[in-house]
Amino acid sequence: MTATTMDTAVRTAEEPWGARPKRVTAGRVGLYAFLIISAIFFLIPVYVMVITSLKAMPEVLSSNILSLPQHPTVQPWIDAWLHACTGGDCSGLHPGFFNSVKITVPAVIVSIGISSLTGYALSFWNYRGAGFFFGLLVFGAFVPYQVVIYPIILGLRTVHLFSTLGGIIVVHTIFGMPVLVLLFRNFYAGLPIELFKASRVDGSNFWQTFFYIMLPMSVPITVVALILQVTGIWNDFLFGVIFAGRPNWPMTVQLQNIVHTTQGVPSYDINMAATIEAAAVPLIIYFVSGRWFVRGIAAGAVKG
C-alpha cells in the first residue's frame, strides 16, 4: 500500500482539504436578485423604445406597449432620418446628425489636444505658478454652467463667434478642459520622472519630448478622454441650442424639435426611432471601446 492511497483512505469528508467550497448564502441570493431587478428596470425603457420604433402608428395605438410588433417595419426609422418635421422644415434628423459630427469631431480633437499638452506642461515642467494654475483649472470643474452662460454669450459676441460653429467648438473645449487636464496631469504625474530626464539628456525639447515620448505613451488615457468628450459633446443640448446658431443646431436640438412638433396624434413610432438614432453614436463608441475605457481608468487609478 502506497502513501498516496493511504492518504485518500484516511481523509474524511468533514476535514478541510484543497479549495474552499463555494456556498450559496442568503446574501448572495439577495445580491443577484437586486442586480437582475435593476437590470430589468433600466432595460425596459430601451425595450419599449426599440419595439415601438418598429411598429406602424395604427399598431402603436392599438397594441399593448410591451407587446412585440405584429408587422415589423423600418419605415419610422427612415421617416425619422429623412422626413420628420421640425416646424415647417421636413427633412428629418439627418442635417442634425451632420451638424453634430461637425461640432463633435473638431471639439473633441481640440479639447483633447490642448488638455494633454496642458497636463504634460503642468506635470513635468515645474514652472512658477503651475500649482496655482492647476488649482484654478480644477476649480473650473465645480462652476455651474448656467451661471457663466450669459457672460460667455457676451464674450463670444464681442469676438464675433456667437452663433457660429467656431463658437460652439470653443465653448466645448473650455468646458472640457478642467476634467481633461486633471485626467492627463494625473496620468503624466504617474509616469516615471526618469523618462522625462532621459529625454532631456538626449536633447529633446519641450515639443519633442511631448510628441515623441509622452503622447505615444498616453493611448489609454486618451481613449478615456475620447469617450468622455464624444459622449458629452454629442449628448449636449444646452450649449448647442445657445451657442451653435440655428443652421448648426446639433442632433439633440433637432430631436427635441421633432418630438415637440405635433399635428394631431404624436408620431410615437418616429419619435422613438429618432431618439435611438440620436443616441446611437455614444452607445456604439462605448461598446466598441468600453474595454479600453476601463483599462485607461484603471491605469490612471493605479499610477495617479
Task: Return the residue of 199, 254, 267, 271 that touches other proteins, per CB under 8 A.
Answer: 199
* Residue 200 within binding range of other proteins, rule CB under 8 A: yes
- State which residue, 199 or 275, has the beta carbon closest to other proteins: 199
**Integer Cα distance of 46 and 194 in angstroms:** 50
Whether residue 237 contacts residue 256, with contact meaning beta carbons closer than 8 Å, is answered with yes
Length of the chain counted residue by residue: 304
Phi, psi of 132 (to 5 degrees): -65, -45
Task: Return the residue of 204, 231, 256, 261 that touches other proteins, per CB under 8 A.
Answer: 204
Whether residue 61 contacts residue 270, with contact meaning beta carbons closer than 8 Å, is answered with no
Q: Which residue in this structure is represented by grid cell 444646452? A: 238
What is the CA 293 to chain-centroid distance, rounded? 10
Residues 59-98 that bind other proteins (CB under 8 A): none
**Integer Cα distance of 121 and 189 in angstroms:** 10
Task: Return the residue of 88, 129, 203, 264 that touches other proteins, per CB under 8 A.
Answer: 203
Smallest gap from Cβ 227 to other proteins, in A, equals 22
Interface segment toward other proteins; rule CB under 8 A; list 21-29, 96-104, 108-116, 198-206 = 198-206
Closest CA to 222 of 283, 289, 133, 281: 289
Task: Return the residue of 38, 67, 70, 208 that touches other proteins, per CB under 8 A.
Answer: 208
Provide the mask over 153-192, with x wherever binding to other proteins is found by CB under 8 A and - wherever it is not: ---------------------------------------x
Distances 65 to 272, 287, 300 between C-alpha atoms, Å? 13, 28, 44
Interface segment toward other proteins; rule CB under 8 A; list 95-103, 177-185, 213-221, 250-258 = 213-221
Binding site for other proteins (CB under 8 A): 192, 194-195, 197-204, 208, 212-213, 216-217
